[in-house]
C-alpha cells in the first residue's frame, strides 16, 4: 500500500505506510488490493496480525510461516514501523516516559507506571489540548493536531518494545492496563481513539480487554454515551469540583457542559454497575476545592452512581497557579468520601522527577500558523515539480 499522504497527514513523497494502526478489515483489504484473493487475504491478514500484535515482530523476513515470496512482496508495500523514540526517561520510582515523534513537529508523550499488581500505560490522544484546564500543564500547549490510530496504537507498541513485553499474551506481561490519560482530550478525537482502542483490545492481538482500558474525559457530554456504546471501555471523569462556580474556573469546558449534564451522562453510561464503576478524578488544590464541605458536596453529587473517587494530589509544573493541598487536608477529605461508602484511593504521584505525573505532560511541538503551513506546502510542491 503506497500513498502520497503519510500517516501524519502531510503530503510527501510516496512511502510505504506502517501496518500498525490499520484495522483488521483495512489490512485484509490492502492485501486484496495487492492482488490476493479474498480468502487468502484473510488468512494472511490473520497471520500478520498475530506476528505484529501478539509477538511484536518487526521484521517480515522472520515471519517464517509466510511464503518467502509473500514476505518479500509485502515488505515493498508496507512497513512495521512505530513512532520514533526521541527520548526515554526513567524515574527513580521506576516510571518511564517516552517522547515520541512521527513527523517534524509532531511529538507526544507516553508513560509507563509499574505497580505491584499491574503495569499501566498512560497514552496520549492529541498533541497539545484545546481545553485549557487551569491546573494542567498540557493545557498550556495549544492543540497541534489529533493523533492518528497509528500514533495512538503505536504508543503501546513502542512501550512493549522498550519493556521487552512480548508476547502480549504472556501470563506475566508488564503492561496490563491502558489509560487514555496522557496529552489531549480523547473524546475530541473520537474516531481515531475508537479505531486505536479496537486494536489494543483485540483478543487475538494486544489483548488488553476493555475492562483494562480506561478512557478519561474532562466531560464532553454529547460524546460520553457514544463512547460507552462504541468503545465500551471503562470511564473516568475529570471532575475536580462539585460546584459549577469552581469547576467553571478549573475546567472551562464546564461552562459548555455543566455538572448536572455531566452527571446525567454518567448515570446512563452503558454498562455501569457496581462491578464496573465510573472513576471520578479529583485533583486536590489548596484552598480551592479541598474543604470537608467540598467533600460532602462531592459525595452528594455522585450519590446513586456506582463510583470510585480518585483523589489526585496536584502535581506542580513551572508557573502553575496552584498548590497541592496538605497531606492532612487530603486525608480528611478522603475520610468524608470513605465514610459515605466510596472507595477514595489517593493517587500516589508517580514520575514527578521526570515530569511524567498527571497533568505534567507537554511536548515542545507548536502549532504552525496556517500561513506557515501553506508556505511549507507550496515549497514542497515546488520541489516535486519537474525541473
Ligand atoms: N483530557 C482528559 C484526559 C487527560 S487525563 C481528561 O481531562 O480527563 C489527565 C488527568 O490528570 C486528568 O484527570 C487531569 O484533570 C489531571 N491533571 C491535570 N493536571 C494535573 C496536575 N497538575 N496535577 C494532578 N492532576 C492533573
- Tell me which of 92, 107, 109, 331 is the catalytic residue: 109
Kindly state if the Cβ of 359 falls inside 6 Å of ligand 1.
yes
The pLDDT > 90 percentage for the chain reads 81
User: What is the pLDDT confidence band of residue 247, given thresholds at 50, 70 and 90?
Assistant: very high
Return the higher-pLDDT residue of 93 and 6: 93
Return the higher-pLDDT residue of 104 and 381: 104
Within 164-253, residue ranges assigned H as helices are 190-201, 221-226, 244-250
**Best substitution site from 136, 179, 197, 249 to test ligand 1's pocket, by max atoms within 8 Å of Cβ?**
136
Give 24's Cβ-side CA count (13 Å radius): 19
Helix, strand, or coil here: 152?
A: helix
Kindly state if the Cβ of 358 falls inside 6 Å of ligand 1.
yes
Nearest-atom index, ligand 1, CA of 316:
22
Is pLDDT of 343 > 50?
yes
Spatial separation of the C-alpha atoms in residues 119 and 351, rounded to whole Å: 14
Phi, psi of 312 (to 5 degrees): -115, 115
pTM above 0.85, yes or no: yes
Helix, strand, or coil here: 341?
A: coil
Stretch 241-251: mean pLDDT: 97
Distance from the alpha carbon of residue 322 to the mean position of ligand 1, in angstroms: 14
Predicted confidence (pLDDT) per residue in 254-298, tens digit:
999 999 999 999 999 988 888 899 999 999 999 999 999 999 999
- Report, in angstroms and rounded to the nearest whole number, the Rg of the chain calculated over CA atoms: 22
Spatial separation of the C-alpha atoms in residues 222 and 184, rounded to whole Å: 17
**Best substitution site from 214, 281, 313 to test ligand 1's pocket, by max atoms within 8 Å of Cβ?**
281
What is the β-pairing status of strands 84-90 and 11-18? Answer: unpaired
Distance from the alpha carbon of residue 359 to the mean position of ligand 1, in angstroms: 5
358 flagged as catalytic: yes
Predicted confidence (pLDDT) per residue in 22-31, tens digit:
999 999 999 9
Give me the pLDDT at residue 384, please: 53
Predicted confidence (pLDDT) per residue in 152-199, tens digit:
999 999 999 999 999 999 999 999 999 999 999 999 999 999 999 999
Kindly state if the Cβ of 185 falls inside 6 Å of ligand 1.
yes
109 flagged as catalytic: yes
Kindly state if the Cβ of 315 falls inside 6 Å of ligand 1.
yes
Helix, strand, or coil here: 324?
A: strand
Q: Dihedral sign for Cα 139, 145, 149, 153, please.
A: negative
Please, is 185 exposed, middle or buried when counting C-beta atoms within 10 Å of its C-beta (0-12, 13-18, 19+)?
A: buried
Distance from the alpha carbon of residue 286 to the mean position of ligand 1, in angstroms: 16
Query: Mean pLDDT, the chain, as a whole number?
Result: 92
Nearest CA to ligand 1 atom 18: 359
Kindly state if the Cβ of 217 falls inside 6 Å of ligand 1.
yes
**Helix (H) or strand (E) run with residue 142 in it:** none
Q: Give me 23's grid cell.
A: 484495522
Amino acid at each position: 500500500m503506497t500513498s502520497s499522504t503519510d500517516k501524519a497527514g502531510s503530503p510527501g513523497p510516496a512511502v510505504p505506510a506502517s501496518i500498525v494502526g490499520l484495522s483488521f478489515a483495512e489490512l485484509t483489504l490492502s492485501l486484496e488490493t495487492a492482488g490476493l484473493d479474498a480468502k487468502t487475504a484473510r488468512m494472511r491478514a490473520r497471520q500478520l496480525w498475530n506476528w505484529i500484535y501478539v509477538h511484536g515482530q518487526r521484521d517480515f523476513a522472520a515471519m517464517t510461516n509466510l511464503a518467502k515470496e509473500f514476505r518479500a512482496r509485502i515488505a515493498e508495500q508496507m512497513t512495521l514501523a512505530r513512532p520514533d523514540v526521541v527520548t526515554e526517561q526513567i524515574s527513580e520510582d521506576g516510571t518511564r516516559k517516552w517522547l515520541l515523534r512521527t513527523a517534524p513537529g509532531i511529538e507526544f508523550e507516553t508513560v509507563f507506571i509499574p505497580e505491584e499488581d499491574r503495569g499501566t500505560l498512560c497514552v496520549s490522544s492529541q498533541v497539545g489540548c484545546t481545553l485549557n484546564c487551569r491546573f494542567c500543564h498540557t493545557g498550556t500547549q495549544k492543540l497541534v493536531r489529533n493523533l492518528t490510530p497509528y500514533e495512538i496504537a503505536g504508543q503501546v507498541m513502542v512501550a512493549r518494545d522498550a519493556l521487552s513485553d512480548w508476547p502480549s499474551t504472556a501470563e506475566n506481561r508488564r503492561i496490563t492496563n491502558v489509560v487514555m490519560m496522557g496529552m489531549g482530550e480523547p473524546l475530541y478525537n473520537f474516531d481515531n481513539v475508537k479505531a486505536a482502542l479496537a486494536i489494543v483490545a483485540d483478543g487475538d492481538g494486544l489483548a488488553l480487554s476493555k475492562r483494562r482500558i480506561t478512557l478519561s474525559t474532562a466531560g464532553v457530554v454529547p460524546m460520553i454515551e457514544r463512547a460507552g456504546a462504541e468503545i465500551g471501555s471503562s470511564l473516568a471523569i475529570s471532575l475536580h469540583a462539585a460546584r459549577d462556580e469552581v469547576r467553571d474556573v478549573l475546567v472551562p469546558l464546564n461552562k459548555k457542559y455543566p455538572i448536572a449534564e455531566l452527571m446525567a451522562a454518567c448515570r446512563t453510561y452503558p454498562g455501569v454497575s457496581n462491578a464496573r464503576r465510573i472513576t471520578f478524578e479529583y485533583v486536590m488544590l489548596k484552598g480551592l476545592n479541598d474543604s470537608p464541605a467540598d467533600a460532602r458536596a462531592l459525595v452528594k453529587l455522585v450519590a446513586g452512581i456506582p463510583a470510585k473517587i480518585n483523589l489526585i494530589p496536584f502535581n506542580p509544573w513551572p508557573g502553575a497557579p496552584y498548590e497541592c493541598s496538605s497531606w492532612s487536608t487530603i486525608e480528611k477529605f478522603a475520610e468524608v468520601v470513605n465514610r459515605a461508602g466510596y472507595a477514595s484511593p489517593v493517587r500516589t504521584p508517580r514520575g514527578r522527577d521526570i515530569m511524567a505525573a498527571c497533568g505534567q505532560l507537554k511536548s515542545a511541538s507548536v502549532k504552525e500558523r496556517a500561513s506557515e503551513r501553506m508556505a511549507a506546502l507550496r515549497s514542497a510542491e515546488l520541489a516535486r515539480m519537474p525541473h
